[in-house]
Amino acid sequence: MNDPVPEQILQKSSGHQALPGRVVAVRGAVIDVQFPEDALPEIEEALSVIVDDEHTIIAEVQAHLDVTTIRAIAIEPTTGLRRGSTANRTSAPIMVPVGDAVLGRLLGVTGNIADGGAALPPDTPRWPIHRKPLPFADQQGATDLFMTGIKAIDLLTPLARGGKAAMFGGAGVGKTVLVMELIHAMVSGYQGISIFAGVGERSREGHELLLDMRQSGVIDRTVLVYGQMNEPPGARWRVPMTALTMAEYFRDEDHRNVLLLMDNVFRFVQAGAEISGLLGRLPSRVGYQPTLASEVAALQERIASVGDAAVTSVQAVYVPADDFTDPAVTTIAAHADSIVVLSRNMAAEGMYPAIDPIASSSVLLDPLIVGQEHTEIAIAVRGAIERYRELQDVIALLGVEELGAEDRRNVTRARLLQSFLTQPFTVTQAFTDTPGRSVSLAETIAGCRAILGGECDKWQQRSLYMVGNLDEARAKEAAS
C-alpha cells in the first residue's frame, strides 16, 4: 500500500474539505477527471485517485480540458483504475519527504520507501517538488574547483563546486561507470550530502549502487531516489524534481553542500516526450516535445549555490545514435558549465575513461580561475592530441617515417599523453583486478609537463597505460 497523503494537504487553504472529482476516462497513464465547476484543481496540483479500498495512486494535473474536466498524468501504474473512481484534490503539488530522515534511504518519486526498511517518522517535513529557482541576485558564481582524482577531468574539464557538469556519450562508452567512480572518488573526501537520482535506470544498477554505498560506509550521507525503467513515464519525468527538492532543503535549511548526481538526464527528456504525446501535443523537432527547452530549464535553473552552501550537479546524458546535434543533447549542453564528451573511438581503442580531450570543455579552464600553468598545460595537451589526429590519415597511408621531425616528435608525445590520461577505476576493480587510482591535480600537471618536455620520448607507450602518477609509470618502465 502506498504512503498515505498527509491529512493537512488534503484540506483546501480555506480549511474546508475539497470536493472530489470523478474519473471519466483512463488511457494508460492519462486520466481525465471531472470536478464540480467551482472546484477545478490547478495545473501541477497532485490528485489522490482511489483505485480500490486499499490502494490509491498519485496523479498530476497537466491540462484543463473545459470548465469541469482536467487531464492528469499518473505517477504510478493505473492497473485496476476504472471510470467512476473518486479523485481527491490535495490542493498542493506532489509533496516529498526531506531532511535527515531520508539520509541512507532508497525512495521512489513520491517519497515512498523502496528499500524494504522502516517507514519514515510521521513528523518528517515535506516539501513540494515544484519550486521557483533562486533569484539571480541571490545566486553565487561557481569558481572553486571540485577535485575528482580523475586525470582527464581535473586537467581538461575541471568541475566547479556549485556548478553543473554533463557527461555526454552514446550507448556503452562508460557514462554510468564514470558517474559511479565520481561517487566513490568524492564520498571519501567530500563531507557534504550526496543525492543520486536514477532516472529510467535498470533495477540491477540500483541494487548495485545501494550495495556499494552500504559496503563503503557512506550510505548515512547519501539519498537514493529512483524512477526506474519499468515505471510509468510520469515517475521517470518527475524523479529529478524529487531529488532536487531534497537537495534544496539541505542547502537552504541546513546550509550544507550537496552533490547531486543524475543518471540519465536524457531519459528525463524522453519521459517528457512520452507525456507530451499522451497529452496529444504536436511533436516538435525530431519528434521531441514542443516544451523541451522549458522543461530542461525548469530542472537546470534550480541547481544553484547560495551563501555558504552549494548544490553541485553531475549529470550523465545519453546521446542517441552518437548524434551530438540531437535537440535534447544541445538543449542540456546549453546549461552545463563543464562538458565531458565520451568518445566511442577511444573506447574501442581501450582508452578508458574514454574522455575526448578535444570535444570536452569547461568554462573554468581560465588562467584567472585555475592558474596560468594549469591552463597552458591543458592547451598544450589538447594541441598535441589535435595535431596527432590531423596526421592520422597520413600515418595510415604512408607511415610515421614519412613525417617531418617535429611532427614525428609530436605524434610520439600525443600517444604517450593519451596513454597517461587513462586510469584504472575503483568500480571496475572486480572485473580488471587492477586497483583504482586517484591522482591529484599537481601530479597530473607534472606528468603532462614531463611528457610534453620530452622526458618520456624513449618510453614504451604501455608504461604509461592505466597508471596513476608519473612515478608509477617510471617504475613500470624501469621494470620492463
Question: Is residue 201 annotated as part of the catalytic site, yes or no?
Answer: yes
Question: Cβ(363)–Cβ(389) under 8 Å?
Answer: no
C-alpha torsion 294→280→130→144, nearest 10: -30
Angle, in degrees to the nearest 10, between helices 441-452 and 470-479: 50
Report how far residue 474's alpha carbon sits from residue 478's, in angstroms, rounded to the nearest whole number: 6
Catalytic residue among 82, 202, 214, 285, which? 202
Question: Which grid coordinates are listed for 268?
Answer: 528525463
Catalytic residue among 151, 161, 175, 236, which? 175
Q: Considering Cα of 302, then 304, then 310, then 311, what sign does the dihedral take?
A: positive
Question: Is residue 175 annotated as part of the catalytic site, yes or no?
Answer: yes
Report how far residue 261's alpha carbon sits from residue 259's, in angstroms, rounded to the nearest whole number: 6
User: Could you check whether the bond before residue 353 is cis, i.e. omega within 30 degrees of 0?
Assistant: yes
Q: Cβ atoms within 10 A of the Cβ of 363, count? A: 16
Question: In Å, what is the CA distance from 307 to each residue of 140, 284, 311, 338, 467?
Answer: 7, 39, 11, 22, 39
Question: Is residue 202 annotated as part of the catalytic site, yes or no?
Answer: yes
Catalytic residue among 45, 181, 201, 274, which? 201
Question: Cβ(62)–Cβ(100) under 8 Å?
Answer: no
Residue 66: strand, helix, or coil: coil
**Which amino acid does the sequence have at 118?**
A
* Cross-strand bridge partners of residue 9: none
* Cross-strand bridge partners of residue 69: 34
Q: Please give the positions annotated as active site.
A: 175, 201-202
